[in-house]
Amino acid sequence: SNPLIIQNLKKTYPTGKTALKTLTLAVESDIVFGLLGPNGAGKSTTISILTGLYEATKGKAYIAGYDLDTERDDVWRSVGICPQHDVLWDDLTCEEHLLFYARLKGIPKSEEHAVVEESLRTVALNGPFKKRLSKGLSGGEKRRLSIAIALVGKPKVVFLDEPTTGLDPEVRRLIWNIIQEARIGKTIILTSHSMEETEVLAQRVGIMSQGTLRCVGTPARLKSLY
């Protein structure tokens, strides 16, 4: 069955703001699903619920077959998150960041070095980068480290929240290549403000506005509509 299933998800914040009116979606494996929409559409709220940060007001979601309400630990081990803004520790090396997350994910000690190596290789931060402190990295390298963190332990569903915002075109392209390779064996949910980015990366795109999905289709089809 599909690694990501969302059924009638709804979120009203304690402020009274309904950020998600209703959201229903199923996404298959091995694809990048682009989530497009203006600020305030509900993209971050959706990701926050699916990664366990916020509770939904109503509705169900299943990640890798696990129920978000009743199997939260299994859901947590099945997802990876690259947040919009890098959350890194200045004085930890690239390798130390990944070891920390590998432990948090419950990767057995005997496997953690292989798991860390694989993530670093995927984002081309292996070799001499391993021992470098995050405070010495460029913006693009920091973003690659954040993506590596999201990929630790081969999660089934990976959320990349605007992964190339603020990066120059060359670094953007490098990160696009990394994402294309990383999608095998996973479902990648990528939020973006860029139609160009989703055209390059996504096999399917959903357009959100005002707390609901307006349409879902291939990038080519949605482009012809807008």
Q: Exposed (0-12), middle (13-18) or buried (19+): which is 147, by Cβ within 10 Å? A: buried
> According to the binding rule CB under 6 A, does residue 85 interact with ligand ADP?
no
Does residue number 43 form part of the binding site for ligand ADP (CB under 6 A)?
yes
CA distances from 160 to 12, 26, 144, 156, 163 (A): 23, 17, 11, 13, 6
Distance between CA atoms of residues 190 and 105, nearest Å? 22
Nearer to ligand ADP by C-beta: 19 or 107?
19
The residue type of 144 is: R
Distance CA 214, CA 169 (A): 29
Check binding of 45 to ligand ADP (CB under 6 A).
yes
Q: Do the Cβ atoms of 105 and 77 come closer than 8 Å?
A: yes
Pairing of strands 31-36, 204-209: parallel
37 sits near ligand ADP (criterion: CB under 6 A): yes
For residues 202 and 48, is the Cβ–Cβ distance under 8 A? no
209 binds ligand ADP (CB under 6 A): no
Nearest distance from residue 156's CB to ligand ADP, in Å? Answer: 23
Taking CB under 6 A as the rule, does residue 89 contact ligand ADP? no
Tell me the closest approach of the beta carbon of residue 161 to ligand ADP, in angstroms: 7
Least gap, CB of 207 to ligand ADP (angstroms): 11
Site for ligand ADP contains 17 (CB under 6 A) = yes
- Interface residue with ligand ADP among 4, 5, 23, 41 (CB under 6 A) is 41
Question: What is the closest distance, in whole angstroms, from the C-beta atom of residue 3 to ligand ADP in the complex?
Answer: 22
Query: Is residue 19 part of the contact set for ligand ADP (CB under 6 A)?
Result: yes
Min dist. Cβ of residue 48 to ligand ADP (A): 6
Site for ligand ADP in 125-164 (CB under 6 A): none
- When computed from its CA atoms, the radius of gyration of the chain, rounded to whole angstroms, is 17
Q: Which is nearer to ligand ADP, 42 or 155 (CB)?
A: 42
Q: Which whole-number Å values give the CA distances from 168 to 114, 140, 173, 183, 193, in the listed order?
A: 31, 8, 9, 23, 15
The residues of the shown chain that bind ligand ADP, judged by CB under 6 A, are 13, 15, 17, 19, 37, 39-45
